[in-house]
């Protein structure tokens, strides 16, 4: 991926970080929220993004796995082909904070940033306000994330019905080709994988990172 394309995605990332900070500040008790740290990590080895407390960086922060979110490996698909932006299985079907179909990686990036900023706000609430942060994806986090989704991300999401029909046809075509051992691998994308185990692994990594960060303070 070219430097210019990376810069374009990073500029979009900064835009959504700024919007998320402003929206979090509109919420009760979080009027002074601000990220102390952010990172756009383009390493191909980095599979999951993180939002939380970074004591060595000054406080609440986020680190976005850019290669997985909008790297060349996922943006190389045809621009008009729908793909699934997944959320965690426990709330992926939620009408407000769940996953969705889109043709734009900007929408996916906005979703990931909102998700991680909500985690960062949790830890800001815990360490700065000395109030409960709740569970990683508990009610406090969901309240913050839902606010960001409604205000910033969801208005970007295209109408789902036409995309659902197109996506279903694409998956059916791949399934039929598989039966005849004629899979067009160029049409097979990571959003078509069963993410149950992947999501479980990501959650475990985040949980361990959160505990390590908390123990350092």
pLDDT tens for residues 82-98?
Answer: 999 999 999 999 999 99
Tens-digit pLDDT profile for residues 90-147? 999 999 999 999 999 999 999 999 999 999 999 999 999 999 999 999 999 999 999 9
Are 108 and 70 in contact by the 8 Å Cβ rule? The answer is yes
**Do residues 62 and 20 lie in contact, with contact meaning Cβ atoms separated by under 8 Å?**
no
In this predicted structure, what is the pLDDT of residue 109?
97
Mean pLDDT of the chain: 85
217 or 15, greater pLDDT: 15
List, as one string, the DSSP characters of 180-200. TT---GGG--GGGS--HHHHH
Query: 34: how many CB neighbours lie within 10 A of its CB?
Result: 13
- What is the C-alpha R_g of the chain? 18
**How many CB atoms sit inside 10 A of residue 12's CB?**
16
Q: How far apart are CA 26 and CA 133, in angstroms?
A: 18
pLDDT (tens digit per residue) in 173-209: 777 665 555 545 455 555 554 434 444 444 444 445 5
Contacts of 169 (CB under 8 A, 6+ apart): none
CA dihedral 106, 107, 113, 117 (to 10 degrees): 140
Tell me the average pLDDT across 65-76: 87
pTM: 0.81
Question: Residue 135 has what DSSP assignment?
Answer: S
């Amino acid at each position: 991926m070219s430097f210019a394309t990376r810069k374009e995605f990073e500029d979009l990332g900064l835009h959504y970080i700024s919007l998320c900070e402003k929206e979090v500040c509109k919420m009760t008790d979080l009027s002074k929220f601000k990220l102390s740290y952010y990172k756009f990590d383009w390493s191909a080895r980095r599979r999951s993004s993180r939002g939380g407390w970074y004591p060595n960086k000054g406080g609440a922060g986020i680190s976005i796995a850019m290669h997985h979110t909008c790297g060349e490996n996922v943006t190389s698909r045809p621009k008009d082909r729908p793909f699934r932006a997944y959320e965690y299985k426990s709330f992926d079907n939620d009408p407000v904070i769940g996953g969705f179909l889109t043709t734009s990686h900007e929408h996916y990036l906005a979703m990931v940033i909102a998700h991680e900023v909500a985690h960062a706000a949790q830890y800001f609430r815990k360490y700065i306000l000395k109030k409960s942060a709740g569970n990683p994806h508990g009610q406090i986090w969901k309240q913050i994330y839902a606010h960001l989704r409604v205000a910033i991300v969801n208005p970007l999401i295209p109408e789902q019905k036409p995309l659902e029909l197109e996506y279903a046809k694409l998956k059916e075509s791949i399934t039929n080709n598989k039966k005849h051992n004629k899979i067009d691998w160029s049409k097979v994308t990571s959003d078509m994988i069963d993410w149950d185990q992947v999501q479980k692994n990501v959650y475990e990594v985040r949980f361990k990172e959160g505990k390590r960060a908390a123990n350092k303070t």
